[in-house]
């Protein structure tokens, strides 16, 4: 596919420190077993004196020529590299377009490339592979074929699996992901949209692309907690540690950092930034450890690689590296945190037998995707503030914990269990989990979604529509995470019925999915009662202590009912303090959130409020006050 990939042009600039000069490779071609030729660029540190090198093979669908701006791990300093590099265009792409066949076997092409390299006079017979995303997935395919001269592999932000929920998490198409894959030349959408239910094709795909028992070389897997691939990576890494040949089983390692997928923008695997946040302690860790791994296996360096733990994990929030032998760590428990109709998160479920919140959803105006584990080049990627454009909307329910008095460590697989009803046959329910900073920023950590028709499973036989007035439990899974909510921060959960274009916007009509047609506004309800206790389930170390309810101080305000202004008399404990001030409407939606230093009286403008009742809360680190007002 002769397409110019702006995505990887940016990657070349950002990741490999592009300079004015270009590297000049030897251009060659590798004969595959069907006699077709695969185009390669060969980079040798020194071509004189019969020197031989171990070689790093990079197999790319994004045009091998971008690597002339700089090579992985060594940049443009090829002269001092201990490795040769061979960069190959995938069959059907760019320089290898003429070798295209209907169903390329990329594993066999990788095998042929490895063995061809081993036969060259400049090769010492040792080959490793490296690469992110699609360049990572092809490494698993190559390793599965067991080429004799393949020594080790470094796949980044990739697992080998092709699974239903990679493309349809919760039964909902990942719109922007599928569109980006099409834009990069993979053309998967026709196949995907022909298989929107879990079926034999998906079962076969998942069975044949999960093969840890076939990997007989050490792998150093590198992932990012803000990427979309942690789950398949962790699943496959665990499979390697239990099912790969005994001779190699204890030689695999996993590095998880605070990184996004990369491909556009300034953030990438190994950078010091992710979305709107920075992580200086993580800068360059992926490259430095990958070099350590490669030198150990290809050069025999006694650099201590074999003494490192199996898992090197960045605990985001604490921003500390952890050296672990298992993940998640012990001492954590799945903890129910209940969503209350007053917009709070609470360790205890409501005592009310009947309590609920309305959640309307118009497919023509879906809740927008702002950051998260996206891929499409026109979307933000990574942690961004949800307050301005998501939580300010009337179609989002916002639930917030009190200010944390202790750090809350989370490792594992968060999820939500919602009790819902709708006047439509089918609709979606989506969750975002955020970290709320003392200054009010609500930075997204995780998201997930579930299509109501698939609440019992994803096969055609599992499909069942909703009936008006009936209450149903909906379970929503998120990616795994390794995050610590810091003392002074708050935990927040946003509930909506859309997150577009990250996920397809449900038309709510119960008809055929992913086709053009009319839309219906869904009048959804989420229940927060003792009968139907909607909740998030977080794998954390503590909750009750960190989220213990503060003593609530009753506040006095006037005039109440109010019109344009409201004056709140502050007790002594709130005076001359930095206060967190929130206004929550009757449906539980957070409509005002501000941190303000106040002396004696708090004066709030209420002219912008619609007619109705509101709850005002005022908090410091140790005290909380509240009152109900009428506008």
Domains and CATH numbers, the chain: 220-325 (no CATH), 333-540 (2.60.120.260), 552-630 (2.60.40.3080)
Rounded-to-integer distance, Cα 255 and Cα 220, Å: 8
Pairing of the two strands 428-436 and 490-496: antiparallel
CA dihedral 366, 367, 368, 373 (to 10 degrees): -120
Low-confidence ranges of the chain (pLDDT < 70): 1-20, 544-552, 587-588, 621-622
Q: What DSSP element (H or E) covers 12?
A: helix 6-15
Asked if 36 and 91 count as a contact pair (C-beta separation under 8 A), the reply is: yes
> In sequence order, what are the residues at sequence separation of 6 or more whose Cβ sits closer than 8 angstroms to the Cβ of residue 412?
328, 332, 334, 480, 481, 539
pLDDT tens across 140-153, in order?
A: 999 999 999 999 99
Polymer length in residues for the chain: 631
Q: Over the range 537-565, which residues count as b (16 or more CB within 10 Å of their CB) and which as e? A: bbbbbbbeebbeeeeeeebebeeeebeee
Rounded-to-integer distance, Cα 43 and Cα 78, Å: 8
Please give the pLDDT value at position 543. 78
CA dihedral 475, 480, 481, 487 (to 10 degrees): 20
Please give the pLDDT value at position 15. 44
For the record, the structure tokens of 290 come out as: 């990958």
Q: How many CA atoms lie within 13 A of 45 on its CB side?
A: 17
């Amino acid at each position: 596919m002769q397409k110019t990939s702006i995505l990887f042009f940016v990657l070349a600039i950002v990741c490999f420190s592009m300079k004015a000069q270009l590297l000049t490779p030897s251009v060659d071609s590798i004969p595959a077993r069907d006699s077709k030729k695969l185009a390669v660029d060969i980079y040798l540190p020194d071509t004189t004196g019969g020197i031989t090198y171990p070689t790093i093979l990079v197999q790319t669908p994004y045009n091998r020529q971008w690597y002339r701006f700089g090579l992985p791990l060594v940049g443009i300093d090829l002269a001092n590299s201990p490795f040769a590099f061979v960069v190959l265009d995938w069959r059907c792409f760019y320089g290898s377009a003429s070798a295209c066949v209907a169903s390329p076997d990329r594993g066999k092409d990788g095998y042929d490339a490895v063995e061809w390299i081993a036969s060259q006079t400049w090769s010492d017979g040792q080959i490793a592979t490296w690469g992110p995303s699609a360049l990572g997935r092809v490494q698993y395919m190559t390793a599965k074929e067991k080429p004799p001269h393949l020594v080790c592999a470094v796949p980044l932000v990739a697992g080998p699996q092709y699974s239903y929920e990679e493309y349809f998490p919760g039964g909902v198409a990942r719109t922007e992901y599928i569109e980006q894959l099409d834009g990069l030349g993979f053309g998967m959408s026709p196949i995907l949209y022909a298989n929107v239910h879990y079926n034999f094709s998906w079962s076969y795909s998942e069975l044949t692309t999960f093969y840890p028992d076939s990997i007989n070389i050490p792998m150093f897997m590198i992932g990012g907690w803000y990427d979309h691939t942690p789950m398949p990576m962790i699943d496959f890494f665990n499979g390697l540690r239990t099912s790969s040949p005994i001779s190699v089983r204890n030689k695999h390692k996993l590095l998880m950092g605070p990184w996004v997928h990369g491909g556009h923008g300034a953030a990438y695997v190994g950078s010091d930034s992710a979305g709107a946040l920075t992580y200086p302690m993580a800068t360059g860790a992926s490259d430095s450890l990958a070099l350590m791994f490669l030198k150990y296996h290809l050069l025999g360096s006694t650099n201590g690689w074999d003494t490192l733990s199996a898992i090197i994990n960045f605990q985001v929030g604490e921003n500390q590296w952890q050296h672990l032998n298992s993940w998640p760590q012990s001492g954590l428990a799945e903890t129910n945190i209940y969503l209350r109709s007053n917009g709070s998160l609470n360790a205890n479920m409501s005592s009310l037998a009947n309590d609920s919140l309305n959640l309307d959803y118009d497919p023509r105006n879906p809740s927008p995707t702002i950051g998260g584990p996206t891929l499409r080049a026109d979307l933000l990627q990574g942690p961004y503030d949800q307050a301005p454009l998501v939580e300010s909307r009337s179609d989002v329910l916002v639930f917030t914990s009190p200010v944390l008095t202790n750090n809350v460590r989370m490792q594992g697989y968060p999820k939500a269990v919602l009790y819902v009803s709708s006047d439509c046959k089918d609709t979606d329910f989506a969750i975002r989990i955020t970290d709320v900073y003392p200054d009010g920023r609500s930075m997204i950590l995780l998201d997930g979604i579930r299509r109501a028709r698939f609440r019992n499973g994803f096969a055609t036989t599992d499909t069942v529509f909703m009936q008006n007035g009936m209450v149903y439990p909906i379970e929503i899974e998120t990616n795994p995470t390794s995050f610590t909510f810091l003392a002074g921060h708050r935990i927040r959960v946003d509930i909506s019925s859309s997150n577009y274009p990250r996920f397809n916007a449900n038309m709510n009509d119960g008809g055929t999915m992913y086709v053009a047609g009319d839309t219906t506004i869904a009048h959804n309800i989420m229940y927060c009662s003792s009968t139907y206790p909607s909740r998030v389930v977080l794998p954390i170390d503590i909750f009750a202590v960190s989220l213990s309810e503060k003593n609530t101080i009753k506040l006095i305000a006037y005039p109440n009912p109010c019109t344009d202004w409201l004056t709140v008399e502050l007790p002594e404990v709130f005076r001359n303090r930095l206060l967190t001030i929130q206004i929550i409407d009757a449906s539980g939606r957070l409509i005002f959130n501000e941190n303000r230093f106040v002396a004696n009286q708090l004066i709030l403008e209420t002219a912008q409020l619609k007619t109705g009742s509101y709850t005002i809360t005022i908090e410091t680190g140790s005290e909380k006050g509240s009152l109900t007002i009428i506008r």
